[in-house]
Structure formats: structure tokens, C-alpha cells
Structure 1
Amino acid sequence: MKTTLCLALSSLLALASPALAARQDADVLVRHATLVDVEHARTLPGQAVVIRGADIVAVGEDATLAGQWRARRTVDARGRYLIPGLWDMHVHFGGGPALVEENKALLPLYVAHGITSVRDASGDLPGQVLAWRAQIANGQLFGPQLFTSGAKIEGIAPVWKGTLEAGDEAGVDAALDREQRDRVDFVKITDSTLKPELFLYALSEAKKRGLRTSGHIPMALTVGQAVDAGISSIEHLDYAFQAGIPDEAAIAADFAAGRIDRAEASRRLHEGFDRATAMAAYRRFAERGVAVTPTLDGSRILSFLDSETHADDPYLAYIGPGLRRTYAWRVERAASATPEQIQARHARHARHARVAAVLPLLQEAGVRIMAGTDAGFLNSYNYPGIGLHNELALYVRHGLTPAQALATATRNGPAWFGRLDRYGAIAAGRAADLVLLERNPLQDIGATRGIDTVVMRGVVYDRAALDAMLAGVRARVAAWNAEATR
């Protein structure tokens, strides 16, 4: 009789509350959010997002999903806007072995500013960064997902430290062998001493091996030659502007033959821009899948070091004394500049404003624009974390819509890595890397600065946790500062 009664009660409960009986378990439930669909530049109000581990397992109407799922933690996103995690596609770690800990302290700054993935474009600590990549992936180190080029490929006795030197094709082959052993995410190739023909050889050989490439294009080559050889991303917007100069090939030939010096070549490469020439080049970029990382804010900062001292920047509290010292050579050079040199620097910035005007042309041609800051050591006052938000503001100032700018920092990086199946949208099966904003970034890109909560690899960091990250970095830097003054 007792067994029969229990069975009857169970049946009644199931009939009375079918939703309750069917509820599934999750780790996190984000409720009442307005989802930002970056791909289609629209918002979807009243949504819920269900997270298990590092994955999004369901997205839909809040009223429906709330009855189907229960979670250990619920995030009330009412009145707020949920976007995919941000990506900074051009950062640097370096300054030598003595600054390893100061560089490591930069990692939480990215997360605290909503950046859940970064692409390291090489510095002088390539082995350390490769180790961090693995440690972050297996949970031993806190930080954003880290993609890295490892050591860059250069010529013999280059300006930059931490490189793989190559003086001939065999040297390039050996460098690429090393990159593959290190399982780099892409190959960075620079041009301080690398012969132009070896630059092209490195691009083509890397492409044959299935490796993505980025780099600085030698002045003795045209951008089109690099594109034809197989470059995957062009770092810094000047090169994209250069592709719109009708005389680019003649200028490259004159420089290669020694008929003009670098200053003259640079001057000529900033004159005579032609929209039709540029659009033809940019359509070729798009056809070949070549992306462009503008890094605008760094150039702006350097142009005005004579008048903007940055001595009172609040973000200096997050930068260790050793890293601040790497800023010094540019700061000292600006302080000792003659009036003529200052005028020339400001003139270069005026030219750079013309360079930035190609952003809408790249967008129109279908080129993938990837947000990147150049933040890290050496690049004075270009701060990790907040720098990406400054960069996005410049994209809008120079002609992109807020939606287009947001795509540069959420979708275009994953697309370049072939990972749009995992990142760049809020949908079932995607990574649980999310940022909850106070305002709508499709209306004002400045809304990316107003972060309420970050979800990274399925773990929730609310505003208090993000502030604690920042406080932790400030405390470490304060201790290093005190030690440095003893």
C-alpha cells in the first residue's frame, strides 16, 4: 500500500510540474540579457545563456530556458548587453629575462578589460610566452587565451632580440622547422636585416607548410608582392595605405637600387594616394584572405610625446618599473627633439590621419580588419587592456560604424585563425567567453569600456572580481616600485 501511494504521488508531481521534472543542470545561467549579435549588427532582448564547463550549451528566450535549466550560479543581466569576448590581435611581451614576472602581471589586465584572447606578435621572450600558452590552456596560469608566433624570423644581426636569424634559404628553412617544432600559431617575419628575396621565400615556404604569416614588409618590395607570396596578415595600417600609391613599384625599385634613402622612400609612399588603385589592391587582399591589423593608437601616442608627458596616467600603476624603463628611449628622444623634429613628427601624424581614412575602404572591399594595439614593452604608454578600447574608438572616429568596429575585436580574430565555429558569437557550441556591458556597443563603441562581468572559459568574474584583479596588479607593481627605490 505504501509503495502504491508513493508511486501515485510521484506521478501527480510529474504531471503537475513537467518543466521542473525535466530541468537540467548547468554551471552558469545568464538571465534577462540583451544579446548582441555582432555578425548581423542587431540586439536580441530577453535572452538566457546556459553554460556548462567552458561551453555554451543553450541560448534562447529567458522565459523558456529558465524553466528548463538550473545552475549553480545565476547572473542577472537585466538591462545589460552581452557580447562575445574581446580579442587583441597584436600584443607584445618582452624586455629580457629580468622582466618575466612584470610581463606575466599584464595577463590579468587583459581579462579585467574584457579581453579573453590575445595574439602575441613576438618579443624577446618567445620561449616564456610559449610556456604561458600551455599553462593558460591547462589551467596552471591565469590569463586570456594566448596565441603566439614564438620567435620572429629575421636576417643576420637584426635590430630586434629574440629572433631566428636567416641569411639564406637554408636558414629560413631551419627557422620554419623550429617554428613547427614549437607549434606556433602563426609565423612573424620582420625586415630590419632580412633580405627582401628571403622575406618572400619565407612567406611562400610557410604557406606550403600550412602556416599563417604576418610581418613588416621590406621597403624594397611592394605590398602586392607580399600578398602574392602568401602573407596572411599585414601588421600596421601604413602598408595598406602604401598599396594605394600608384608609384609604389617604382619607389620600391628606387630604394632597392639605392637611388633613394628610407626617409625619401617613406615620404613618397605617403603621397599620391589613389582610391581606385587602393580598392583594386584591397579587393585582392580580400580574395586572398589577407587581413589588416591597423594598430592606430600607438602611432598617435608616439607623435605627441613632446607635449603629452603621460606622467599622471593612472594606468602607470599597472606597469612595472622595468617595463616603464623600456619606454624611456622613445621618451628621451622626444624630450631632446629639436623644434624641427617635433614639427616633422606632428606632420607625420597628420599624414597618419590620411592613412586611417583607408579603414572604410578596406571594409568596403571586404578585407578582414583585426583590432590590435601593439601594447606591451617598448611601445610607450600603449597600455595592455585599456589600449584595445582606445583602438576601437579610433576605428569609429575614422569611419567604421560601431558594429563594424566591434566585429574587428570579436569576430575577425577568430575568423583569421579559422575558429569562428568556436568564437565570435553567442550560440550553443561556442566558447563561454563573454562580456556583459552596461550599455549598447552598437550605438556607441565607448560602451565596451563599461564592463559589468566577464565570463572566461565558463568562469564568472563579476565587477568585484575584476576590480580585485586590478588591485592585485597594482599591489604587485607598488611592491616592485618600492624595491626599485631602495
Structure 2
Amino acid sequence: MKMLISILLAWLFQLPLSAVAKERADLLIRHATIVDVAGARLIADQTVATRGDVIVAVGGDAEVAKAWTARRTIDGGNRFLIPGLWDMHVHFGGGPALVEENKALLPLYIAHGITTVRDASGDLPNEVLAWRGDIASGRLFGPTLLSSGPKIEGIKPVWKGTIETGSKADVDAAVARLKGLGVDFVKITDSTMKLDLFLYAIRKARAAGLCVSGHIPLALTVDQAVDAGISSIEHIGYAYKAGVKDEATIAADFAAGRIDRAEAYRRIDAGFDPGTAMAAYRKLAAKGVFVTPTLNGSRVIAYLDQDDHKTDDYLGLIGPGLRATYQWRVDRAANADAAGIAARHAEYEHEASVLPMLQKAGVTIMAGTDAGFLNSYNYPGIALHQELAIFVDKGLTPAEALASATRAGPAWFGKLDRYGAVEAGKAADLVLLDRNPLEDIGATRAIRAVVLRGAVYDRAALDKMLADTRSKVAAWDAAAAK
């Protein structure tokens, strides 16, 4: 009997692969050049097979195409296949009247190759959490949505959509509420938050098993927030502050009321020290603290004197109510005199200059845009590509910039086992590009097709998403003009 089995097995393995029953997939992408982001290298003439929302096989075209058959096959044409892009800092808001305008932003992300977004809280937290569930179940079309829900703040804060806290008991209740809502992480801001409660809230949320992102109060040092356990620092200005030699003295003086905000920032701008910064950034890296620079939004505001964006074609994709929320920042910038404008330029350039220092120190940089309501001309979708272009302009390599938008987000959420690479077992979230992003980061804009949770959207489908949104916005504009 054993001999018979051996003979049969030997005969079977001598058969050509085509004579053996093929595995069934939903999609085959053939003749693609896979971009190995982690290795910063290209792997030519590959075929990717997906079933449902999972990649089930990746390998040389001849090998995979013989072993697999699929309901749909795409010829990659030697184009470049990358993991889906992640925007790790977006906002939805503007009040209940703008729910539909915010919802209309969701397809814009997909049309620009962004398959996952991290909602860093606005004033529609409950609606966004509902969208998260609707997207996951297929009832709503949009990128995978990871949300903080309502952010934790102090009493009577500037920002709406918050859980107000004035005591440790309030913080305990806030964290319990967020856990109950099933949020993906916690966002803490510093409008009116007491200093001790800010640090307590970080520790409490981390103890509850949640990552914590946020702003850092001017009256605290970055080091204090890091020691409390903050997981990511949002906006590069806080990372810049960590490089100020007398940061602790400035924080103490501001907390005691000895200096005002303007004087505190003047001293911060004057006190940056590269040696201090590198030591601080190495600690961020050692503690696993990520940084989301959000440079594109800062650039837009800093240089409004040179480009007022009033003729941007992209305005036709943003609803009139959301466009109106841009005005407060525009007005504030318009009120600046020549000295104020020069200071604005200098602040942006100084802060942006620390980006390569963070990279050199080993800090994981996450691409996030701050796009959404309030943040003028920082458009959902295209802003991520603009952010990546800034990263390269300020000193990162195209490979490093690409990693910030494909691997950093999954790493922060502990999801690199499922996202961030074109490999078997990973999510079927993919973007097919006409050009090589390892040579030119601008290639991330040259999108031929997007695969989202296994579903394919070719260039025509992506263009239709944009056209449909444009038509919707035009109808809202017409209604508003009556």
C-alpha cells in the first residue's frame, strides 16, 4: 500500500501544473511591479490574487497565473503596485447642517488612492462612528474609517464635539465612555484641559489599552507628555518645541502667568537647539512615539499671501458650508502686516526643517493632512499627495515618504500583520500607479486603479467618483444661491 501511494504521488507531481485543479480567486492582477515599501525595492512581473478582502497569493506571473483562476483579471502592464495609502489625520465637522457635505468627502479619499483614514475628531463624532460601522458593513461607500470619537478636553473648551472633564472622576468616566463606544484610539486636546488631568488622561487611556494622540499644552513640556505615555504627537510644531533648550523654563513661566502666549512662542522660536532636539527625538523613537507633521495645512496658511487659492479647481469638490468654514483662518491671515507675514513664513520653514532630524533619530513619521472643515484649502484626498511631496522637498527620500503613508499608520495601530505590504495574508487594499514612486513621490498621484477591500475601481470609476461629487456640490451651490 505504501508503495502504491508513493507511486501515485510521484505521478501526480510529474503532471504539469495546468493539469491540477486551479485555486479560485476573485481577482488576479497580472504583470505588476510590486513596490516593496519596507525594503525600498521593486519586484517585477508579479501576479497578485485576492479573494474577498484578502490577498491570497503573490508571486511570479508564470507561477501564480498557472495555479490560480479568477472571476476578473487585470493586466498590470508592468505598472507599480503599492499598498493602499493611509491619511492618519483627518477631520469631519462644521455642525449637523453639514453632515451630508462631510459624507460627500468620503469618495474623494478613495479617488486619490487613500483606503484608510484616521479621524482625529471634529464636532460630528457620533455621526462619524456611525459611518465607521456603515462602511464596515457595506451600507456606506468610503475608506476604512478609524476614529477617536469625541475627544477629551477641559471644561467649556474652544472645540466642540468633546467630552468635558474637570476632575479625575470625569476623566475616568470619559475613558469608560470611549471604551464603550469602541473607539479606535483616544484624542486629547489642550484648550481648557488642566495640566494634571491632561497627563492623567493619557495614563488612564493607555491603561485601558488605547493609543493616545493629541496636542501638548504650552504649559507642559513634550517630555512630560512622552513620559505619561502619549502615542503620537499631532503637528510638527510640538516636535519643534521639544528641541528648545529652555523648554521647561518657558513652560513653567507660562503656567505661572509670568509670560503670555506670544512671548512664550517668541522664546520657543529663538531657543531651538539641534543637539537638544536630537536628544529629544531619540527619546521619542525609544519610547515608540510617532509624529504626524501635518505640514500641508501649515504651508497653505503660511503662504496665503502668495496663493489665495480662490481659483482652485478642487473647490468644486467641497460643499459650500465646508468652504465657509475656511474663512476664519483666511481672515486671520489677511490681517497680518508685512512683519507678521514674514514671521508666518519663517515659523513654517523652521518647523518643517526638523522633519529630516526626526527621521534620522528613528522617529516614525506618519503622513496625515489635517484635511477637513476649518483647515483652509487643505483638501481631502489630494492633500495627502501634497504632504508627501513636502516630505521629500524637506529631506526625506521618496521611499521614506511612501512608508509614512503606507506602513506608519498600520504600525501605530498594531496592524502591520494585515496592512502595509503587498503580500499574501494582507488586506486587499492596493493602488496601481503608472509611474515608480521610489523614483518620484509625485507618482502616487498617477493612479490607474484602486483596490478597496477587494473591489476594483479603475480610472474611469475613480473619475466618476470625482464627477459625481462635483455634480453634488454644484447642486448645493445652486440651492444656496437662491
TM over 0.5: yes
SS of 2:177's equivalent?
helix
SS of 1:219's equivalent?
coil
Please say if residues 115 and 385 of structure 1, whose CA atoms lie closer than 8 Å, have aligned partners that are also in contact. yes
SS of 1:22's equivalent?
coil
Please say if residues 88 and 118 of structure 1, whose CA atoms lie closer than 8 Å, have aligned partners that are also in contact. yes
Deviations 1:280-333 (CA, angstroms, capped at 9, x unpaired)? 111111111110000001011112223422111010010001101111112233
SS of 2:94's equivalent?
coil
What is the letter of the counterpart of residue 455 of structure 2?
A: V
SS of 1:473's equivalent?
helix
Which position in structure 1 is the counterpart of 2:245? 246
Which position in structure 2 is the counterpart of 1:386? 382
Large movers: runs of 4+ above 6 Å: 12-16
Unaligned runs of 5+ in 2: 1-10
Find out whether 1:370 has 2:369 as its counterpart: no
Q: Report the Cα distance in structure 1 between the residues aligned to 2:273 and 2:14, rounded to whole angstroms.
A: 72
Q: Report the Cα distance in structure 2 between the residues aligned to 1:374 and 1:112, rounded to whole angstroms.
A: 18
Which position in structure 1 is the counterpart of 2:301? 302
For 1:336-415, list aligned pairs within 5 A: 337-340=335-338, 343-415=339-411
Which position in structure 2 is the counterpart of 1:42? 41
In structure 2, the CA distance between the partners of 1:302 and 1:338, relative to structure 1 (3 Å rule), is closer
SS of 2:301's equivalent?
helix
Q: Report the Cα distance in structure 1 between the residues aligned to 2:336 and 2:229, rounded to whole angstroms.
A: 42
For 1:443-454, list aligned pairs within 5 A: 443-454=439-450
Per-residue deviation, 1:23: 1.4
For 1:226-241, list aligned pairs within 5 A: 226-241=225-240
Please say if residues 220 and 253 of structure 1, whose CA atoms lie closer than 8 Å, have aligned partners that are also in contact. yes
SS of 1:164's equivalent?
strand
Q: Report the Cα distance in structure 1 between the residues aligned to 2:289 and 2:332, rounded to whole angstroms.
A: 35
SS of 1:47's equivalent?
strand
What is the letter of the counterpart of residue 170 of structure 1?
A: A
Q: Report the Cα distance in structure 1 between the residues aligned to 2:362 and 2:181, rounded to whole angstroms.
A: 33
Q: Report the Cα distance in structure 1 between the residues aligned to 2:248 and 2:333, rounded to whole angstroms.
A: 33
Q: Report the Cα distance in structure 2 between the residues aligned to 1:472 and 1:411, rounded to whole angstroms.
A: 31
SS of 1:234's equivalent?
strand
Please say if residues 14 and 21 of structure 1, whose CA atoms lie closer than 8 Å, have aligned partners that are also in contact. no
Which position in structure 2 is the counterpart of 1:33? 32
Which position in structure 2 is the counterpart of 1:8? none
For 1:66-105, list aligned pairs within 5 A: 66-105=65-104
Q: How many residues align?
A: 472
In structure 2, the CA distance between the partners of 1:345 and 1:201, relative to structure 1 (3 Å rule), is farther
Q: Report the Cα distance in structure 2 between the residues aligned to 1:16 and 1:259, rounded to whole angstroms.
A: 84
Unaligned runs of 5+ in 1: 1-11
Per-residue deviation, 1:16: 7.3
Q: Report the Cα distance in structure 1 between the residues aligned to 2:387 and 2:176, rounded to whole angstroms.
A: 35
Per-residue deviation, 1:370: 0.3
What is the letter of the counterpart of residue 233 of structure 2?
A: I
Which position in structure 1 is the counterpart of 2:4? none
In structure 2, the CA distance between the partners of 1:78 and 1:268, relative to structure 1 (3 Å rule), is same
What is the letter of the counterpart of residue 106 of structure 1?
A: L
Q: Report the Cα distance in structure 2 between the residues aligned to 1:288 and 1:309, rounded to whole angstroms.
A: 40
In structure 2, the CA distance between the partners of 1:422 and 1:96, relative to structure 1 (3 Å rule), is same
For 1:20-419, list aligned pairs within 5 A: 20-335=19-334, 337-340=335-338, 343-419=339-415
What is the letter of the counterpart of residue 163 of structure 1?
A: T
In structure 2, the CA distance between the partners of 1:236 and 1:338, relative to structure 1 (3 Å rule), is closer
SS of 1:271's equivalent?
helix
What is the letter of the counterpart of residue 386 of structure 1?
A: I
SS of 1:420's equivalent?
coil
% identical aligned pairs: 67
SS of 2:129's equivalent?
helix
Correspondence for 1:472 among 468, 473, 476? 468
What is the letter of the counterpart of residue 139 of structure 1?
A: G
Which position in structure 2 is the counterpart of 1:461? 457
Deviations 1:9-45 (CA, angstroms, capped at 9, x unpaired)? xxx9998754143211110000000000000100000
Please say if residues 121 and 151 of structure 2, whose CA atoms lie closer than 8 Å, have aligned partners that are also in contact. yes
SS of 2:176's equivalent?
helix
Q: Report the Cα distance in structure 2 between the residues aligned to 1:60 and 1:206, rounded to whole angstroms.
A: 42
Per-residue deviation, 1:456: 0.5
In structure 2, the CA distance between the partners of 1:73 and 1:270, relative to structure 1 (3 Å rule), is same
Q: Report the Cα distance in structure 2 between the residues aligned to 1:338 and 1:242, rounded to whole angstroms.
A: 23
Per-residue deviation, 1:351: 2.6
Per-residue deviation, 1:276: 1.9
Please say if residues 84 and 423 of structure 1, whose CA atoms lie closer than 8 Å, have aligned partners that are also in contact. yes
Q: Report the Cα distance in structure 2 between the residues aligned to 1:123 and 1:420, rounded to whole angstroms.
A: 27
Q: Which moved more, 1:368-377 or 1:263-272?
A: 263-272
Correspondence for 1:434 among 403, 427, 430? 430
Q: Which moved more, 1:265-274 or 1:36-45?
A: 265-274
Which position in structure 2 is the counterpart of 1:420? 416
Q: Given the two structures, how large is their TM-score scaled by the length of structure 2?
A: 0.96
Which position in structure 2 is the counterpart of 1:6? none
Q: Report the Cα distance in structure 1 between the residues aligned to 2:148 and 2:455, rounded to whole angstroms.
A: 27
Q: Report the Cα distance in structure 2 between the residues aligned to 1:423 and 1:16, rounded to whole angstroms.
A: 36
Q: Report the Cα distance in structure 2 between the residues aligned to 1:170 and 1:16, rounded to whole angstroms.
A: 70
Q: Report the Cα distance in structure 2 between the residues aligned to 1:15 and 1:204, rounded to whole angstroms.
A: 62
What is the letter of the counterpart of residue 395 of structure 2?
A: G
SS of 2:270's equivalent?
coil
What is the letter of the counterpart of residue 378 of structure 2?
A: N
SS of 1:58's equivalent?
strand
Per-residue deviation, 1:360: 1.4
SS of 2:386's equivalent?
helix
Please say if residues 17 and 67 of structure 2, whose CA atoms lie closer than 8 Å, have aligned partners that are also in contact. no
Per-residue deviation, 1:374: 0.2
Please say if residues 304 and 346 of structure 1, whose CA atoms lie closer than 8 Å, have aligned partners that are also in contact. no
